[in-house]
Amino acid sequence: MEVSMPVVRPSEAVVHEIHGARFVSYATPLSGSKELCAWRGEIPAGTKAPVHTVNREEIFHLLSGELVITLDGRTERITAGDTVIINPGATLGVENPTDRTAVSWVTTSIGLEAELADGSRIVPPWAN
115 burial level (CB within 10 Å; 0-12, 13-18, 19+): middle
First to last CA, the chain: 30
Task: Determine the Cα–Cα distance for residues 41 and 112; give it in Å rounded to an integer.
Answer: 15
Residue 28 domain-assigned? Answer: yes
Name the residue range of residue 40's domain: 14-127
Written as tens digits, the pLDDT of the chain (128 aa) is 666 788 999 999 999 999 899 999 999 999 999 999 999 999 999 999 999 999 999 999 999 999 999 999 999 999 999 999 999 999 999 999 999 999 999 999 999 999 999 999 999 999 98
For residue 108, the domain's CATH number is 2.60.120.10
Residue 30 lies in a domain: yes
Please indicate, yes or no, whether the overall pTM of this predicted structure exceeds 0.95: no
Total domain count, the chain: 1
C-alpha distance from residue 119 to each of 37, 48, 53, 70 (Å) = 24, 18, 10, 19
